[in-house]
């Protein structure tokens, strides 16, 4: 139609406003996901904790005493499965942070190796733990397996290592001397003496007869005393009665009666009475 203007065409190669908005929103969403991932990865909810200073400090002296008694080194190693750096915790009878493996000071050694993995809540993977007992070349595989199985008797299962890895690995380390002795690897550790003072003697326990039957004995003694008292009173009254009878006889003038002669005749007298 005459007089009608056609819409002006956009310059070739210049994107429309809608395309710019789409790519801007997409970029913001991607950036937000990256930032959220970085924040979540740094939250530390999937970091395996190491033993506390007190747990390590209590474990080392126990291992030192066992090594001095049995002549073999004991240690522990805890490592995060997702960490490619150094182990989280290493310790032994030589001290906190000192390993026994390939240590010239420990030609014979046994240690517990714990590998623990904590996964984030958004992950589909489950937490897990793997616990092994390793030792020097002179220790047989069967002995190491026997020690490893013995950890479960002390409640040191994989679930315990997952729940509290630091406590579990140090607890497993202090059980190694006992399990090594049970496996025939070493002699049992010596029990430390509690003291050299001689304990005082126990007091005399006494006689069981007096302790268990003192009531009956006191009752019998009371009856004997009462019987003796009654006998004494009876004798005293009898003597008093006899004394009164003698006094009455003396007061009435009677003389004591002569004793009666027997009926046998006297040979010196005749029938006539001479």
- Three-class SS of residue 1? coil
Q: Please report which confidence band the pLDDT of residue 16 belongs to, taking 50, 70 and 90 as the band edges.
A: low
DSSP string covering 57-123, please? Answer: HHHHHHHHHHHHHHS-EEEEEEEETT--SS-SEEEETTEET---TT-TT-SSEEEEEEEEE---TT-
Domain parsing of the chain, residue ranges:
53-182
Please state, rounded to an integer, the average pLDDT across all residues of the chain. 77
What is the spatial distance between Cα 202 and Cα 192, in angstroms, rounded to a whole number? Answer: 25
Encode pLDDT of 36-95 as tens digits: 444 444 445 568 899 999 999 999 999 999 999 999 999 999 999 888 778 999 999 999
Distance between alpha carbon 235 and the CA centroid of its chain, in Å? 74
Encode pLDDT of 180-237 as tens digits: 999 999 988 776 555 555 555 655 555 555 555 666 677 777 778 878 777 787 787 8
What is the percent of the chain where pLDDT is above 70?
A: 65
Q: Please report which confidence band the pLDDT of residue 253 belongs to, taking 50, 70 and 90 as the band edges.
A: low
Q: Please report which confidence band the pLDDT of residue 274 belongs to, taking 50, 70 and 90 as the band edges.
A: very low
In this structure, what token pair is assigned to residue 89?
Answer: 């915790």
Contact 88, 80 (CB under 8 A): yes
What is the spatial distance between Cα 207 and Cα 202, in angstroms, rounded to a whole number? Answer: 15
Q: Which residue has the higher pLDDT, 155 or 20?
A: 155
- pLDDT value at residue 199: 58
């Amino acid at each position: 139609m005459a007089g009608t203007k056609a819409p002006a065409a956009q310059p070739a190669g210049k994107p429309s406003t809608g395309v710019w908005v789409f790519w801007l929103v997409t970029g913001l969403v991607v950036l937000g996901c990256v930032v959220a991932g970085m924040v979540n990865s740094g939250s530390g909810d999937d970091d395996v904790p190491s033993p506390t200073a007190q747990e390590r400090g209590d474990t080392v002296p126990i291992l030192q005493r066992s090594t001095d008694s049995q002549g073999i080194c004991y240690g522990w190693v805890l490592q995060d499965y997702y960490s490619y750096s150094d182990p989280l915790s290493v310790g032994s009878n030589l001290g906190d942070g000192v390993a026994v493996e390939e240590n010239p000071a420990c030609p014979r050694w046994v240690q517990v190796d714990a590998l623990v993995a904590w996964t984030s809540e958004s992950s589909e993977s489950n937490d897990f733990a793997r616990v092994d007992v390793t030792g020097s070349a002179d220790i047989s595989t069967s002995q190491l397996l026997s020690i490893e199985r013995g950890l479960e008797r002390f409640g040191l299962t994989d679930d315990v290592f997952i729940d509290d890895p630091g406590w579990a690995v140090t607890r497993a380390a202090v059980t190694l001397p006992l399990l090594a002795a049970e496996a025939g690897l070493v002699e049992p550790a010596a029990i430390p003496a509690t003291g050299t003072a001689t304990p005082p003697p126990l007091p005399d326990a006494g006689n069981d007869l007096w302790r268990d039957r003192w009531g009956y004995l006191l009752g019998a003694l009371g009856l004997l005393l009462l019987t003796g008292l009654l006998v004494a009173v009876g004798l005293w009254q009898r003597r008093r009665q006899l004394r009164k009878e003698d006094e009455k006889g003396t007061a009435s003038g009677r003389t004591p009666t002569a004793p009666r002669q027997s009926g046998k005749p006297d040979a010196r007298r005749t029938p006539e009475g001479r």
